[in-house]
């Protein structure tokens, strides 16, 4: 009898084990091929194009980690860049020099270039390869606007960049003098010239030709010496993830400029119309996105200051309704801010700026809007000197944004910024009556109080 009870107690445990074993088979059948595929010999290929920035830095770091995790035979970076941030370039060079997986930097396709920052990255690869019709070099220090630097600053950044590229050349056994010329004399080399000068290792028509020439070559990495077996090696591509694509999108100078401008205007609208909420929330989000984008760009804080001053002058202009001097100053500051927004000095960055057409278009729209608004306020205040405005005074409205004592009311089909007459709080939904109008602000009181 006791044995029977013991068996009954074991049944749930035995049943659970059987179920787990039954599920383990199909799961292993699904996972095992993936694991085997991930760890089978292959070349991991990623494409690096456009400006070198923290997004590219993050992507390359992730690619190296993925290559290590999947036990890839080698990592191939297909490179086509005009240059980028020196800080990101240094980090990428560090990743390549420390990579335990052999890294091939392949300047491709035909017509591509490894300009400025791209020169440092190409030289830092275990193998530096170029496609026919490509070029490398032109790493001389310039400002982010594309202009030459003054002598003192140019000497400082030039010496720093030259020292970096010499150390890379020494580590990889490349031509120090030729690579240093790309920094000090802005030298640029074609694919054939680069091979002759030992700036790169060889020329490859495409990926298949690249792998064929790498077969049997020996390379020393931080993981030790390796002999590459690349004959008929499988090729797998790795793309940017959703976050990296999003960061790349907002890091466009024109997009970040729009975010900064519209975000600032959203906050201004919220300040003039407290309780609307939407303009304030959207404005804060856009400003946060703008500053997130600025982390990937050579932003000039002087440009941001000019834009902020432009918005402040516009706000003051609407308050004093002056003769337009503040408005003109606002537009001038806005244009200057847009032009110099990206002007931080960096020795490896190509020209980065906001489109002049975009700056001009937004400035024109900004000027027309400001002119219209100041005219409306000025005329309203002239009428308000009665001090009553017959067309609005005495009308009833509904509170849509709590008056504490300032808020928002709906009068007819219009939304107005309102102030409580007696300074008391008036809740949302209560009925109020307009007592007077001054500019774009109405003074109201509760309907009951006004009637009494």
The predicted-structure confidence for 339-350, as pLDDT tens digits, reads as follows: 887 765 455 556
Is residue 388 helix, strand or coil?
coil
Band (93; pLDDT cuts 50, 70, 90): very high
Give the contacts of 88 (CB within 8 A, at least 6 positions apart).
Answer: 52, 53, 54, 56, 57, 117
pLDDT in tens, 290-317: 888 887 777 777 888 888 888 888 777 7
**Residue 345: CA count within 13 A, CB half-sphere:** 14
Cα–Cα dist 375/319, whole Å: 12
**Residue 318: CA count within 13 A, CB half-sphere:** 19
Band (201; pLDDT cuts 50, 70, 90): very high
Greater model confidence, 355 or 430: 430
Contact 348, 146 (CB under 8 A): no
Cα–Cα dist 247/292, whole Å: 8
Residue 40 has pLDDT above 70, yes or no: yes
| Lowest-pLDDT choice from 187-191, 342-346, 432-436 | 342-346
Q: Which domains does the chain have, with CATH numbers?
A: 18-243 (3.90.226.10), 252-294+297-384 (no CATH), 396-451 (2.40.50.140)
Q: How much is the pLDDT for 75?
A: 94
* 328 membership: H or E segment, kind and range: helix 325-340
């Amino acid at each position: 009898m006791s044995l029977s009870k013991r068996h009954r107690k074991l049944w749930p445990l035995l049943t659970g084990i059987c179920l787990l074993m039954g599920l383990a088979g199909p799961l292993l059948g699904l996972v095992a091929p993936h694991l085997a595929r991930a760890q089978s010999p292959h070349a991991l290929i990623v494409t690096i194009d456009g400006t070198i920035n923290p997004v590219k830095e993050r992507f390359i770091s992730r690619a190296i980690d993925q290559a290590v995790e999947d036990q890839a035979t080698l990592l191939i970076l297909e490179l086509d860049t005009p240059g980028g941030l020196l800080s990101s370039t240094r980090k990428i060079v560090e990743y390549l020099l420390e990579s335990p997986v052999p890294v091939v930097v392949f300047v491709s396709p035909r017509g591509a270039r490894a300009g400025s920052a791209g020169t440092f990255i190409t030289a830092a690869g275990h193998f530096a390869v170029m496609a026919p019709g490509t070029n490398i070099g032109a790493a001389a220090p310039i400002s982010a606007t594309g202009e030459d630097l003054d002598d003192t600053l140019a000497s400082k950044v030039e010496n720093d960049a030259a020292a970096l590229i010499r150390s890379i050349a020494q580590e990889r056994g490349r031509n120090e003098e030729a690579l240093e010329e790309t920094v000090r004399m802005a030298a640029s080399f074609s694919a054939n010239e680069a091979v002759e000068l030992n700036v790169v290792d060889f020329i490859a028509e495409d990926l298949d030709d690249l792998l064929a020439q790498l077969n049997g070559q020996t390379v020393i990495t931080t993981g030790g010496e390796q002999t590459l077996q690349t004959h008929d090696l499988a090729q797998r591509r790795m793309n940017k993830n959703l976050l990296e694509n999003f960061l790349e999108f907002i890091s466009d100078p024109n997009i970040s400029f729009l975010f900064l401008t519209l975000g600032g205007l959203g906050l201004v609208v919220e300040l003039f119309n407290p309780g609307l909420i939407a303009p304030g929330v959207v404005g804060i989000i856009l400003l946060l996105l703008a500053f997130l984008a600025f982390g990937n760009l050579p932003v000039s804080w002087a440009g941001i200051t000019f834009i902020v001053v432009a918005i402040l002058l516009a706000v003051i202009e609407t308050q004093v309704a002056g003769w337009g001097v503040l408005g003109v100053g606002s537009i001038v500051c806005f244009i200057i801010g847009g032009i110099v927004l990206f002007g931080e000095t960096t020795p490896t960055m190509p020209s980065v700026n906001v489109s002049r057409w975009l700056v001009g278009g937004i400035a024109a729209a900004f000027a027309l809007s400001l002119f219209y608004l100041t005219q409306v306020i000025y005329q309203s205040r002239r009428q308000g000197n009665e001090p009553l405005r017959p067309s609005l005074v005495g009308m009833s409205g509904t509170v849509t944004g709590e008056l504490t004592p300032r808020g928002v009311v709906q009068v007819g089909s219009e939304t107005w910024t309102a102030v409580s007459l007696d300074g008391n709080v008036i809740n949302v939904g209560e009925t109020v009556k307009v007592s007077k109008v001054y500019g774009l602000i109405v003074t109201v009181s509760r309907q009951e109080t006004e009637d009494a």
